[in-house]
Amino acid sequence: MGREKPIPQENQRLNAFVMIVLGLETSCDETAAAVVAREPATGQGRILGEAVLSQVAEHKPFGGIVPEVAARAHLTHLDALVRKAMADAGVGFADLSAVAATGGPGLIGGVMVGVMTAKAIAAVHGVPFLAVNHLEGHALTARLTDKVQFPFLLLLVSGGHCQLLVAEDVNTYRRWGTTVDDAAGEAFDKVAKMLGLGYPGGPAIEAAAKTGNAKRFNFARPMKGKPGCDFSFSGLKTAVRQTAEQLPPGPFQPRDVADLAASFQAAAVESVADRVKRAAERFTNEYPEGRALVVSGGVAANTALRELLQATAAKAGLEFVAPPLKLCTDNAVMIAWAGAERLHKGLVDGMDFKPRPRWPLDPNATPSHGAGVKA
Ligand code: KG4
Ligand code: ZN
């Protein structure tokens, strides 16, 4: 159990006794620090301060994330971001109940930077260190933003992850589905690259798709109708490439790019929605007390996907919860918040914690292998 302290006078935003946790996120291409407060009595949380630096510009010339570049950038910027988040919150290190960092899964160089920084702060200021599973950060965000109660069904769709999970409690998850090859966001990124739309690909595909004809190319909806809740995107990606190769030689015409983007997007989001539909049916059967379908991860920004998921949730009698976009994509608020939820349960970590490139949320889930399978 962490220390509970009053927020200092100068911070006028809260005056109850709360846990205050600093969180660090460095597992991919966002360097971020945030401070959140959690009231132990009510379980309510509040963002006190945050600072984020996106590395998109640093990776853009390479058309994707370069792990070594990411790790160096985290190292360069993290200290200043911690100072900024703390200043924004109006708290000092002595006010912290704990320090949390993403302990994995993710690009190991970056995870090491965050973990070592958090351990150093924890050691110097004599507060507990918390290693947070990045996926648990995504999973628990909806409890901060929308006070979602356990159990809930979670779709996590990002550039590195594509999973369907049941969140039963803090630290207790059941994984019902994962990708057998690429993550959903990875498929958007690869197709965008193929079509010359640049990086990150998701928003570029969505923008191009707006003027495109989604019916021009009839791509099969991967996994649609198949038993289980697993995902697959690599066949769809190949189908887009083969179709693009059959177009007349020379640079792509804008019309072809728009139609390919629209047709790909329709197939990808319908595939995801089909998997979610199956999971929602199973969830309402096995967890009749469950109320919500939560979606998180960068791909949750996609309007077409959101619309389909909203309808899928409604049909299953579930509430559809999507945290605000900046808390759906990688951020440190989710790490600080998951840290606070773990601290409340007494789940602190030792200084001997080792960063974990792979770290499944559900230890009993069958391991899956593939380019985009990080957990
Ligand atoms: O959660 P996130 O910021 O980072 C991780 O991958 O953990 O997700 C980024 C991913 C990228 O693959 C990006 O292309 C995708 O989310 N994405 C989208 C959209 N916006 C971002 N995919 C589809 N449609 C979008 N509007
Ligand atoms: Zn993420």
Report whether residue 106 contacts ligand 1, using a CB cutoff of 6 Å. Answer: no
Name, in order, each residue with C-beta under 8 angstroms of 359's C-beta and a sequence gap of 6 or more: 103, 104, 105, 133, 134, 135, 375
Phi/psi of residue 49, nearest 5 degrees: -160, 150
Report whether residue 362 contacts ligand 1, using a CB cutoff of 6 Å. Answer: no
| Strand 98-104 with 17-25, pairing | parallel
Report whether residue 372 contacts ligand 1, using a CB cutoff of 6 Å. Answer: no
The reply to whether 5-144+327-344 and 150-322 are identical in fold is yes
Across the range 204-219, mean pLDDT stands at 97
Q: Which of 63-72, 113-122, 300-309, 343-352 has the least mean pLDDT?
A: 63-72
Per-residue pLDDT, 88: 95
Structure-derived torsion over alpha carbons of residues 258, 263, 269, 273, reported in degrees to the nearest 10: 150
**CA–CA distance, 96 with 3 (Å, rounded to integer):** 8
Angle CA(96)–CA(150)–CA(142) in degrees, nearest 5?
Answer: 55
**CA–CA distance, 290 with 317 (Å, rounded to integer):** 10
Give CA 223 to chain center in angstroms: 23
Closest approach atom of ligand 1 to CA 186: 12
Per-residue pLDDT, 141: 97
Closest approach atom of ligand 1 to CA 29: 4
User: Could you report the per-residue pLDDT of 107-160, keeping only the tens digit for each?
Assistant: 999 999 999 999 999 999 999 999 999 999 999 999 999 999 999 999 999 988
**CA–CA distance, 57 with 30 (Å, rounded to integer):** 11
User: 110, 355 in Cβ contact below 8 A?
Assistant: no
**Ligand 1, residues 65, 299, 309: which to mutate, most atoms within 8 A of Cβ?**
299
How many helices (H) and strands (E) are present in the chain, helices listed first?
11, 11
Output the residue whose Cα is nearest ligand 1's atom 16.
298
Q: Which residue has the higher pLDDT, 68 or 281?
A: 281
* Three-class SS state of 154: strand
Cβ count within 10 A of residue 196? 11
Closest approach atom of ligand 1 to CA 185: 12
**CA–CA distance, 139 with 150 (Å, rounded to integer):** 11
Rounded distance from Cα 133 to ligand 2 centre (Å): 10
Per-residue pLDDT, 13: 45
Would you say residue 354 has pLDDT above 60? yes
Burial of 319 (0-12, 13-18, 19+ CB in 10 A): middle
**CA–CA distance, 160 with 182 (Å, rounded to integer):** 8
| Strand 129-133 with 98-104, pairing | parallel
Would you say residue 55 has pLDDT above 80? no
Sign (positive/negative) of CA torsion 172, 178, 184, 186?
A: positive
Domain spans of the chain, in order of start: 5-144+327-344, 150-322
Would you say residue 300 has pLDDT above 90? yes
Would you say residue 83 has pLDDT above 90? yes
Would you say residue 367 has pLDDT above 90? no
**Ligand 1, residues 265, 329, 334, 335: which to mutate, most atoms within 8 A of Cβ?**
329
- Sorting pLDDT into bands at 50, 70 and 90, what band is 371? very low
Report whether residue 189 contacts ligand 1, using a CB cutoff of 6 Å. Answer: yes
Buried b (16+ CB within 10 A) or exposed e, 231-256: bbbbebbebbeebbeeeeeeebeeeb
**CA–CA distance, 305 with 307 (Å, rounded to integer):** 5
Rounded distance from Cα 186 to ligand 1 centre (Å): 8
H-run or E-run covering 249: none
* Three-class SS state of 10: coil
Does 150-322 carry CATH code 3.30.410.40?
A: no
Per-residue pLDDT, 6: 57
Structure tokens at 357: 């490139």
**Whether pTM exceeds 0.75:** yes
- When the candidates are 3.40.640.10, 3.40.50.970, 3.40.718.10, 3.30.420.40, the CATH number that belongs to 5-144+327-344 is 3.30.420.40
Per-residue pLDDT, 62: 78
